[in-house]
C-alpha cells in the first residue's frame, strides 16, 4: 500500500474543455425555461459525442438576468466518481463561482437548476441543501430507468417535499428530446453504470 502522502492527493473535479468552447458561441441569456432546457439537453448530447460522461446535462441559472451561472454534465465515468452527476457538478461549480455554499444566501439573486432528467435520490438531497429556489426537469426518472439507470429510492411525493422547502418544481420541459438523448446513449453502446448491479 502506498504511503498516505501519495494515496491522498487533492482531488479537483473539472469540466471537459469542450464545454467552454461550446458556450463561447452561445447566447448570454436564456429567457425561457425551454431555452434553458435546450441548452442542458445539448450539453448532454455533446457529453455523449465527446465521450466525457453519461447522457445528462444541467445548469444553474440566475432568474433575474436569465444568465447561465454554471453548466454541469455527468462525469461519473471520466472522473471515476459515482457522485459526479450533472446536477451535483452544476451546483458545485455555481457555488465555487459565487463563493457560497448556499445559492439562496442573503444578497444573492434567485437561482434555478435546469436538468435534462428528473433528479435521482442523491441529487434530490443535493438540491435540497443547495439554495436553488426552482428546479426544471426534462426527462422523467422512469425514462432513465427504462434504459437501465438506477434512480435510487425517492419519496413518491418528492416534488411536494421540495416545494415545502421553498423550491418550485416544473416537470416535462422538452421531455421527448431529453428522453431521446438517454435512448441514443444506450443505442450507441454507452455504459449504463449502475452500482446496484455490483
Enumerate the active-site residues. Answer: 87
Q: Tell me which residue of 116, 124, 123, 132 sits closest to 159, measured CA to CA.
A: 124
Gap between the Cα atoms of 59 and 93, Å rounded: 10
- Strand residue runs (E) in 20-156: 57-62, 68-73, 111-117, 134-139
Query: Pick from 94, 146, 154: which is nearest to 123 by CA?
Result: 154
Provide DSSP, 6-53: HHS--------HHHHHHHHTS-SB--SHHHHHHHHHHHHHHHHHTTSS
Specify the DSSP element, H or E, that contains 124: helix 121-130
- What gap in Å lies between CA 176 and CA 116, rounded to an integer? 11
Exposure of 93 in the CB half-sphere (CA atoms within 13 A) = 24
Residues 6+ apart with CB under 8 A from 3: none
Amino acid at each position: 500500500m502506498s504511503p498516505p502522502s501519495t494515496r491522498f492527493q487533492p482531488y479537483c473535479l473539472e469540466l471537459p474543455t469542450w464545454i467552454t468552447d461550446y458556450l463561447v458561441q452561445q447566447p448570454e441569456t436564456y429567457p425561457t425555461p425551454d431555452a434553458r432546457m435546450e441548452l442542458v439537453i445539448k450539453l448532454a448530447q455533446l457529453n455523449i459525442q465527446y465521450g466525457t460522461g453519461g447522457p445528462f446535462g444541467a445548469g444553474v441559472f440566475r432568474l433575474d438576468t436569465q444568465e447561465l451561472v454554471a453548466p454541469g454534465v455527468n462525469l461519473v465515468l471520466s472522473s471515476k466518481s459515482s457522485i459526479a452527476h450533472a446536477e451535483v457538478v452544476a451546483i458545485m461549480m455555481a457555488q465555487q463561482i459565487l463563493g457560497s455554499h448556499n445559492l439562496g444566501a442573503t444578497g444573492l439573486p434567485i437561482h434555478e437548476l435546469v436538468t435534462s432528467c428528473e433528479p435521482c435520490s442523491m441529487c434530490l438531497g443535493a438540491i435540497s441543501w443547495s439554495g436553488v429556489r426552482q428546479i426544471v426537469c426534462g426527462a422523467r426518472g422512469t425514462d432513465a430507468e427504462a434504459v437501465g439507470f438506477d434512480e435510487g429510492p425517492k419519496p413518491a411525493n418528492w416534488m411536494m417535499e421540495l416545494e415545502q422547502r421553498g423550491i418550485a418544481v416544473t416537470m416535462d420541459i422538452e421531455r421527448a428530446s431529453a428522453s431521446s438523448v438517454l435512448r441514443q446513449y444506450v443505442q450507441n453502446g454507452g455504459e449504463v453504470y449502475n452500482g446496484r448491479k455490483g
